[in-house]
């Protein structure tokens, strides 16, 4: 059972006493129960995400800086851990459901593309060009936990994650790019597939609002530390940071200082009437730091080469895989080309087969893995090229940086 701590939000958290609780823990399908399972519904979601392959790949996905050989540069997995730490501390102080908060936090970035936001922009460009719709990692995260990620059950059968509504909602609604303070949950219980753009709706829970603000608190200081380590910032930039810190009676602006101060500030200032919020002073500081990061880090010309490289790698993988489309014969084409490109074509064919109707596979000796996949067959029989294009986007978006580079190098190696 979830631990309930006293706080100003104790009567509003996602607990069984909440009138909306049954809606919050609703799943798309029935979920099997384990004997003597002492976990809450949201704790089960947390561990289901923790055990997923998409979560494991976060350790090799770019946060901001592409530097796969540097052990001390923040990866997507480290960022997720920071968000989990910040958000659960705030939730505990406010009396909200810590289990739900942790589950949203650990899963909020599962939909991120390889190569960080540069990779996301390239997939968005490809999606708009070939499918006429946007790609954004929040919606892709929902798509992954709903349709792509599989877990093996007690009988060695692979099934969809089947998470609760509250966790799924927190994932798709976590966008924190818009500068806003005083977050409040929306009142409408909507179909989450109604999201058509980033940040379109606020989270449905207070816990989701906490994660949304914590996401921003967690990354601004860490990105500065990495920028200094990689010498992205000049002496003048660093002096500017020092002046900014002194303006708030501090000696430094870094992850530790920002997280400590803002956790305390959010916990002190938030209320059901005001929403999840920072004081005016710290809201201003967060905005100033974010503006600094955009000017001197995220838009730094040193990232231009990486951006072009990410575009080249992702675009070429997409084009090569797209050339293999042949309706219901596509899997056969891929397996034939796997003789030349065993990693890209072979692995993609095996992955694709899990999400297609069994009759699509013309091979009589289906693998045991495919036979025991009882998941949604979202690609049907690959009836249209658009369905296949979507499958390619799904596959690429799930790749780690390392794997993306590996299959691209296979294409250019003779």
CA distance 60 to 58: 5
364 pLDDT exceeds 90?
no
Contacts of 385 (CB under 8 A, 6+ apart): 325
- 227-to-69, 112, 221, 239 alpha-carbon distances in Å: 16, 21, 10, 14
Q: Give me the phi and psi of 164, to 5 degrees please.
A: -70, 160
Q: How far is CA 324 from CA 318, 327, 345, 349, in A?
A: 10, 9, 9, 11
Which is more confident, 181 or 275?
275
178 or 171: which leads in pLDDT = 171
- Asked if residue 65 has pLDDT above 80, the reply is yes
- Contact residues for 317 (Cβ-Cβ < 8 A; gap 6+): 344, 396, 404, 407, 408, 411
Average pLDDT over residues 399-411: 96
Q: What is the pTM of this model?
A: 0.94
Say if CB 2 and CB 15 are below 8 A apart: yes
3-state helix, strand, coil split of the chain in percent (to 5) is: 60, 5, 40
* Beta-carbon count within 10 A of 132 CB: 8
DSSP string spanning 102-115? HHHHHHTTTTPPTT
Mean pLDDT of 106-133: 97
Per-residue pLDDT reduced to its tens digit, 333-357: 999 999 999 999 999 999 999 999 8
How would residue 366 be classed by pLDDT, with cut points 50, 70 and 90?
A: very low
Cβ neighbours around 256 below 10 Å, total = 10
The CA–CA distances, whole Å, from 91 to 45, 112, 360 equal 17, 25, 48
Q: Where are the alpha helices (DSSP H) in 270-303?
A: 280-293
Phi, psi of 160 (to 5 degrees): -65, 160
d(CA 45, CA 104): 9
Q: Does residue 105 surpass a pLDDT of 70?
A: yes
Beta bridge partners of 18: none
% residues pLDDT > 70 (the chain): 94
Q: Inform me whether the pLDDT recorded for 397 exceeds 80.
A: yes
Measure Cα distances from 193 to 79, 142, 201 in Å: 26, 9, 12
pLDDT digits (tens, 9 = 90+) for 1-41: 555 567 899 999 999 999 999 999 999 988 877 777 788 99
Average pLDDT rounded to a whole number, residues 118-144: 97
More confident position, 288 or 366: 288
- Residue 299: per-residue pLDDT: 94
**Residue among 216, 223, 209 at smallest CA distance from 275:** 209
Q: What is the rounded distance in angstroms from the CA atom of residue 41 to the CA atom of residue 18?
A: 14
Calpha distance 85→82 (Å, rounded): 5
Place of tokens 């993609």: 348
Token pair listed for 385 = 């090229």
């Amino acid at each position: 059972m979830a631990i309930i701590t006293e706080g100003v939000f104790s009567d509003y958290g996602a607990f069984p006493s909440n009138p909306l609780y049954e809606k919050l823990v609703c799943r798309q399908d029935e979920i099997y129960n384990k004997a003597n399972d002492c976990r809450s519904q949201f704790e089960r979601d947390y561990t289901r995400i923790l055990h997923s392959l998409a979560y494991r790949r976060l350790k090799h996905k770019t946060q901001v800086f592409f530097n796969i050989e540097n052990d001390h540069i923040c990866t997507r997995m480290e960022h997720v851990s920071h968000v989990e730490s910040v958000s659960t501390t705030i939730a505990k102080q406010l009396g909200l459901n810590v289990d739900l908060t942790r589950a949203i936090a650990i899963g909020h970035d599962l939909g991120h593309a390889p190569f960080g936001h540069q990779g996301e922009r390239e997939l968005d460009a490809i999606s708009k060009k070939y499918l006429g719709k946007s790609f954004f990692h929040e919606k892709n995260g929902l798509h992954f936990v709903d349709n792509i990620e599989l877990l093996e059950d007690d009988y060695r059968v692979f099934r969809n994650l089947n998470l609760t509504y509250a966790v799924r909602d927190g994932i798709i609604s976590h966008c924190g790019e818009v500068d806003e303070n005083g977050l409040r949950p929306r009142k409408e219980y909507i179909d989450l597939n109604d999201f058509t753009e980033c940040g379109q709706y606020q989270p449905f829970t207070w816990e989701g609002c906490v994660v949304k603000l914590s996401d921003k608190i967690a990354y601004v200081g860490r990105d500065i530390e990495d920028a200094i380590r990689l010498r992205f910032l000049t002496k003048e930039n660093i002096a500017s940071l020092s002046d900014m810190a002194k303006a708030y009676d501090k000696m430094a602006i870094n992850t530790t200082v920002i997280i400590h101060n803002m956790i305390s500030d959010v916990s002190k200032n938030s209320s059901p009437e005001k929403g999840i919020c920072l004081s005016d002073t710290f809201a201003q500081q967060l905005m100033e730091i974010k503006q600094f990061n955009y000017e001197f880090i995220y838009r730094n010309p040193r990232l231009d080469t990486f951006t072009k490289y990410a575009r080249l790698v992702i675009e070429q993988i997409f084009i090569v895989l797209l050339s293999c489309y042949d309706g219901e014969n596509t899997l056969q084409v891929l397996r034939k080309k796997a003789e030349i490109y065993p990693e890209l074509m072979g692995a993609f064919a095996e992955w694709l087969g899990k999400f297609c109707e069994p009759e699509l596979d013309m091979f009589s000796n289906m693998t045991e893995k495919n036979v025991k996949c009882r998941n949604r067959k979202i690609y049907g029989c690959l009836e249209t090229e658009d369905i296949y294009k979507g499958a390619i986007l799904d596959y690429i978006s799930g790749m780690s940086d390392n794997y993306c580079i590996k299959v691209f190098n296979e294409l250019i190696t003779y």
